[in-house]
C-alpha cells in the first residue's frame, strides 16, 4: 500500500484542473497570436513581426511612464464592460444556456442609462439601476421563451440583438446632437450622471474616464464566483445545466432557474453598458448598423477564462489589451481588425479545450499506469 500513497503525494501539477485550464488558455492565445502573425505576414511580410509586438505591447508603445499609465487606464475603462458581458455569458453557460443575447442586453442597457442621463437628468446610480433593469428584462424574454416555449436561446438572442439595436437607435436619436449622429456628451450635459472616480483618476495620470466602474466590475466577478461555488442557489443552477431532468426530479424548479439565470445574465450585461457609457468615454452613434462587439468579445473572454469568473477577469483584460493594441498598428498597411481576428480565432480554438484536456488526462493516466506496472514488476521480482 505505501507505494500507492507515494504516487498520490507526487501528484503532478499537470493533473490539477486549474492548471490545465490555464495551460489550455495560454496555448489558445499563443496559437491565436501565431495565426495573427501569419495573416500579417501575408499582407506584408516586412513589418509583420513588429506589428504583432505592437499589438501585444498596447500602451507600452508609449515612451513615458505617465502616458503608459494613462492609456492603461483607457484599456481598463473598456475592460470593465467587457468583463460584465463575459460574466453574463459565463453565468448562463453554467446553466447550460448560450447567452449570445448578451450583446442585445448590453445594447438596451446602454439605451436605458443614456436616455435616463440625457432626457431625465438622473444621477449616475439611477441610470445604472435602469440599465440593470433593462438588461434583466431583456434577458427574461429569452429565458421565458426558452423555459415555456422551448425556443432556442441562441436564435431568439440574435433576433433580440437586432430588435434592441434598432429600438435603441430610435430611442436615443431623441437625445442626440443636432449636427452629428452621436448622443449628447454626458459629461457636459449632465455631470451628475458620470460615475464617481473617488480620486482614482490621479493613479492613471488624470485619466478622467477612470471611475469606480473598474473596481466594481472586479468585485462583481468575485461575487459571481462566490455565488456559483459556495451557495445552494449556485449549485442548483449548475445542476440544472448538467441535467435538466435530473434537476427537476431532485425538486429543483428548472424553468425558474432558466429564467432567473438569464435575468441575472441580462442584468450583468446591462450594468456593463452603464460602466462604459456613464464614464463619458464613448457616445452612442444613432446610425450604427451593427450590434456593438462588446457582447461578442464577452464570449471570447468567458471561454478564454476557462468559464471561471476569476479567470474571466484576466481573460477580459487580455482581450481588451490586444483589441486596443490593434489600434496602434500602422494603419496605412495593416487593418486594425487583426485584433478582432485574433480574438475570433481564440474562441474557435477554445472549442478544442475539452479535447485537449482529455488528451492531457489520458496521457497522465497512461504514464501512471505504466509506472505502477513497473513498480509492481520490481516488487514481484524482490519477493
Partner 1 sequence: MVLLLQYTLIFASVLSLVALGGCFSEHSGIINLGLEGIMVIGALGGAMTLDAMGGQAAPAVVLATLAVSILCGMAYAALLGFACIQFSADQTLVGTALNILATALATVIVKARNMARNPDDVSSTVQYVTGKKAFIFRIGSFEFNWFMLIALIALILAGIILYRTRFGLRLMACGENPQAADSVGINVYKMRWAGVLISGALGGLGGICYITAGVSEWKFENGVAGFGFLALAVMIFGAWKPLNIGLAALLFGFFRTLSNVYSSIGILANLNIPGTLYNMLPYIISLLVLAFTSRNSRAPKAEGIPYDKGSR
CB 220 within 8 A of CB 79: no
Rule CB under 8 A: say whether 319 interacts with partner 1: no
Q: Residue 73 or 135: which CB sits closer to partner 1?
A: 135
The minimum distance between CB 376 and partner 1, in angstroms, equals 28
**What's the CA gap between 383 and 373, in Å, rounded?**
15
The minimum distance between CB 164 and partner 1, in angstroms, equals 9
Who contacts 260 (Cβ-Cβ below 8 Å, separation ≥6)? 143, 237
Task: Single out the residue of 332, 378, 380, 382 in contact with partner 1 (rule: CB under 8 A).
Answer: 332
Rule CB under 8 A: say whether 41 interacts with partner 1: no
Q: Which stretch binds partner 1 (CB under 8 A): 70-78, 127-135, 328-336, 373-381?
A: 328-336
Rule CB under 8 A: say whether 355 interacts with partner 1: yes
Q: Which stretch binds partner 1 (CB under 8 A): 8-16, 242-250, 346-354, 369-377?
A: 346-354
Who contacts 121 (Cβ-Cβ below 8 Å, separation ≥6)? 190, 192, 193
Rule CB under 8 A: say whether 366 interacts with partner 1: no
Rule CB under 8 A: say whether 242 interacts with partner 1: no
The minimum distance between CB 338 and partner 1, in angstroms, equals 6
The minimum distance between CB 254 and partner 1, in angstroms, equals 16
**What's the CA gap between 109 and 172, in Å, rounded?**
12
Who contacts 251 (Cβ-Cβ below 8 Å, separation ≥6)? none
Distance of CA 288 to the CA centre of its chain: 22
Task: Single out the residue of 10, 331, 378, 381 in contact with partner 1 (rule: CB under 8 A).
Answer: 331
- Find the Cα–Cα–Cα–Cα dihedral 113, 181, 327, 317, rounded to 10°: 10
> Could you give the string, one character per residue 62-81, with x where binding to partner 1 holds by CB under 8 A and - elsewhere?
--------------------
Q: Which stretches within 44-101 are classed as H helix? A: 48-57, 65-93
Rule CB under 8 A: say whether 31 interacts with partner 1: no
Q: Residue 161 or 279: which CB sits closer to partner 1?
A: 161
**What's the CA gap between 24 and 150, in Å, rounded?**
34
Q: Residue 169 or 207: which CB sits closer to partner 1?
A: 169
Rule CB under 8 A: say whether 43 interacts with partner 1: yes
Rule CB under 8 A: say whether 299 interacts with partner 1: yes
> Could you give the string, one character per residue 99-128, with x where binding to partner 1 holds by CB under 8 A and - elsewhere?
-x----------------------------
The minimum distance between CB 341 and partner 1, in angstroms, equals 4
Residues facing 182 on adjacent strands: 285
Task: Single out the residue of 39, 69, 200, 310 in contact with partner 1 (rule: CB under 8 A).
Answer: 39
Angle between helices 294-304 and 102-118 (to 10 degrees): 130
Rule CB under 8 A: say whether 341 interacts with partner 1: yes
Give the binding-site size for partner 1 (rule: CB under 8 A): 47
Residue 185: count other Cβ atoms within 10 Å of its Cβ. Answer: 12
Angle between helices 17-43 and 338-350 (to 10 degrees): 140
Task: Single out the residue of 2, 149, 199, 378 in contact with partner 1 (rule: CB under 8 A).
Answer: 149
The minimum distance between CB 350 and partner 1, in angstroms, equals 7
**What's the CA gap between 109 and 77, in Å, rounded?**
17
Report angle CA 321, 36, 69 to the nearest 5 degrees.
20
Site for partner 1 in 154-193 (CB under 8 A): 154-156, 158-163, 166-167, 169-170
Who contacts 22 (Cβ-Cβ below 8 Å, separation ≥6)? 306, 311
Report angle CA 156, 160, 164 to the nearest 5 degrees.
175
Binding residues for partner 1, rule: CB under 8 A, are 39, 43, 98, 100, 145, 149-152, 154-156, 158-163, 166-167, 169-170, 289-290, 296, 299-300, 303, 331-335, 337-338, 340-341, 343-345, 347-348, 350-352, 354-355
Amino acid at each position: 500500500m505505501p507505494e500507492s500513497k507515494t504516487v498520490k503525494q507526487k501528484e503532478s501539477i499537470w493533473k490539477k484542473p486549474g492548471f490545465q485550464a490555464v495551460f489550455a488558455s495560454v496555448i489558445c492565445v499563443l496559437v491565436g497570436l501565431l495565426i495573427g502573425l501569419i495573416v500579417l505576414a501575408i499582407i506584408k511580410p516586412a513589418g509583420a513581426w513588429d506589428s504583432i509586438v505592437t499589438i501585444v505591447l498596447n500602451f507600452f508603445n508609449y515612451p513615458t511612464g505617465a502616458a503608459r499609465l494613462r492609456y492603461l487606464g483607457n484599456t481598463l475603462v473598456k475592460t470593465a464592460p467587457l468583463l460584465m458581458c463575459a460574466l453574463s455569458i459565463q453565468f448562463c453557460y453554467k446553466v447550460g444556456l448560450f447567452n449570445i443575447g448578451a450583446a442585445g442586453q448590453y445594447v438596451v442597457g446602454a439605451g436605458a442609462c443614456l436616455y435616463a442621463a440625457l432626457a431625465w437628468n438622473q444621477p449616475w446610480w439611477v441610470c445604472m439601476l435602469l440599465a440593470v433593469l433593462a438588461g434583466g428584462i431583456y434577458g427574461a424574454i429569452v429565458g421565458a421563451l426558452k423555459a415555456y416555449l422551448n425556443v432556442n436561446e441562441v436564435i431568439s438572442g440574435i433576433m433580440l440583438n437586432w430588435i434592441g439595436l434598432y429600438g435603441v437607435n430610435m430611442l436615443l436619436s431623441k437625445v442626440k446632437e443636432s449636427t452629428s449622429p452621436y448622443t449628447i456628451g454626458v459629461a457636459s450635459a449632465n455631470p451628475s450622471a458620470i460615475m464617481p472616480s473617488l480620486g482614482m483618476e490621479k493613479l492613471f495620470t488624470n485619466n478622467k474616464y477612470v471611475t469606480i466602474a473598474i473596481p466594481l466590475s472586479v468585485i462583481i466577478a468575485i461575487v459571481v464566483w462566490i455565488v456559483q461555488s459556495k451557495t445552494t442557489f449556485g449549485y442548483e443552477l449548475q445542476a440544472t445545466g448538467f441535467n435538466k431532468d435530473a434537476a427537476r426530479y431532485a425538486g429543483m424548479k428548472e424553468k425558474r432557474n432558466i429564467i432567473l439565470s438569464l435575468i441575472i445574465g441580462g442584468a450583468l450585461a446591462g450594468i456593463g453598458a452603464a460602466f462604459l457609457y456613464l464614464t463619458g468615454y464613448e457616445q452612442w452613434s444613432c446610425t450604427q448598423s451593427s450590434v456593438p462587439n462588446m457582447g461578442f468579445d464577452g464570449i471570447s473572454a468567458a471561454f478564454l477564462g476557462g468559464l471561471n469568473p476569476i479567470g474571466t477577469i484576466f481573460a477580459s483584460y487580455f482581450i481588451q489589451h490586444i483589441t486596443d493594441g490593434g489600434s496602434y498598428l500602422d494603419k496605412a498597411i495593416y487593418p486594425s481588425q487583426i485584433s478582432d481576428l485574433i480574438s475570433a480565432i481564440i474562441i474557435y480554438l477554445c472549442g478544442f479545450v475539452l479535447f485537449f484536456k482529455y488528451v492531457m488526462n489520458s496521457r497522465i493516466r497512461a504514464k501512471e499506469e505504466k509506472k505502477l506496472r513497473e513498480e509492481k514488476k520490481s516488487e514481484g521480482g524482490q519477493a
